[in-house]
């Protein structure tokens, strides 16, 4: 697929971050877009940004509220887009939706853990299941599943467990690699790619908190404050046990800001890398110089990948300030 003009793309998690930028860049290339998200307001802003420049006649951008971890939501999304986009086929599927949180089997609840896993892995699996017939019906099509560097390196540092997200992203990576041959055997005109971003400037930190808590607030609740303090103590943050609750709130707010604003790769840059990878039919798309370097390091010394020295030397090399 060398260009996207006249194609129809489905994007999950289209309200913010990479999903929003994928939508904007696809529309700019003349591609119709149907996006879903749990936030109707966020999607409305994405659509507005897509339409800042007057859309070519007949080009369609549609929004659909859906939780990708719930199959009936995705089926409704599919049926709505078929009607609103007036189509029985799609050409591009970007399984992009994801959240963080629920990282520990010990300190997080089962519900928090499974919420992350079911969105980050289940949303990809159910997305492919739901839209595969529409992809197969097209003359050419491409599935793009967003994993992460945590799909080959299950850590964000020594002081914080990261099992839910990392397990999900490993599953996405393995699933997509297995799809390569499955598609070759049964639908050779459909390609697939696994996307593995490093630190991309998105609102995933604050958005994940909103989804996990279901209260829509920017502030941590009492349990989250206590857990954040415990993590900071475990990470060796000086005097973390003496910080006030408001100090902890400020630390969380700064982490969310920094993750969005200080990232080495912007969401717009990430979207371009992904779309260029699709055009080049690359099945493995690393996003960001930090992702490329981490991939090289893990492959070179896999037995040391979870040692403190590995993490500290890598974060110093690429400037990460996570964990």
Active site residues: 165
d(CA 110, CA 164): 10
d(CA 11, CA 98): 12
Please, what's the largest Cα pairwise distance for the chain? 62
Asked if residue 26 lies in contact with residue 51, where contact means CB atoms within 8 angstroms, the answer is no
The alpha carbon of residue 96 and the mean position of all alpha carbons in its chain are separated, in whole angstroms, by 5
What distances in angstroms separate CA 136 from CA 13, 53, 62, 88, one per listed residue? 23, 32, 22, 10
* Short-list 323, 41, 42, CA closest to 205: 323
d(CA 320, CA 202): 15
304 Cβ contact list (under 8 Å, min separation 6) = 310
d(CA 157, CA 164): 15
168 Cβ contact list (under 8 Å, min separation 6) = 98, 116, 117, 119, 120, 121
> What is the 3-state secondary structure of 217-268?
CCCCCHHHHHHHHHHHHHCCCCCHHHCCHHHHHHHHHHHHHHHHHCCCEEHH
């Amino acid at each position: 697929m060398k260009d996207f003009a006249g194609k129809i793309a489905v994007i999950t998690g289209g309200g913010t971050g990479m999903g929003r930028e994928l939508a904007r860049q696809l529309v700019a290339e003349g591609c119709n877009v149907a996006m879903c998200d749990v936030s109707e307001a966020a999607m409305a802003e994405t659509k507005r940004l897509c339409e800042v420049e007057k859309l070519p006649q007949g080009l369609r951008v549609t929004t659909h509220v859906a939780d990708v971890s719930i199959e009936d939501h995705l089926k409704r999304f599919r049926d709505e887009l078929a009607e609103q986009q007036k189509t029985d086929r799609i050409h591009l599927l970007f399984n992009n939706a994801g959240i963080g949180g629920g990282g520990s089997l010990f300190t997080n609840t089962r519900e928090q853990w499974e919420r992350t896993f079911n969105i980050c892995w289940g949303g990809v699996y159910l997305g492919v299941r739901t839209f595969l017939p529409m992809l197969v019906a097209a003359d050419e099509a491409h599935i793009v599943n967003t994993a992460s560097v945590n799909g080959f390196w299950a850590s964000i540092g020594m002081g914080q467990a990261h099992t839910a997200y990392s397990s999900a992203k490993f599953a996405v990576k393995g699933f997509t690699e297995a799809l390569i041959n499955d598609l070759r055997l049964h639908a050779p005109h459909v390609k697939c790619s696994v996307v593995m971003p490093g630190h991309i400037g998105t609102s995933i930190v604050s958005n994940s908190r909103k989804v996990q808590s279901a209260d829509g607030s920017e502030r941590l609740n009492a349990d989250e404050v206590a857990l954040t303090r415990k993590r900071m103590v475990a990470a060796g943050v000086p005097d973390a046990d003496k910080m006030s609750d408001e100090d902890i709130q400020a630390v969380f707010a700064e982490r969310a800001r920094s993750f969005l604003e200080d990232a080495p790769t912007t969401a717009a840059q990430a979207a371009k890398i992904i779309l260029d990878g699709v055009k080049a039919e690359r099945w493995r798309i690393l996003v960001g110089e930090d992702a490329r370097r981490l991939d090289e390091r893990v492959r070179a010394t896999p037995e040391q990948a979870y040692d403190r020295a590995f993490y500290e030397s890598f974060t110093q090399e690429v400037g990460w300030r996570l964990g």
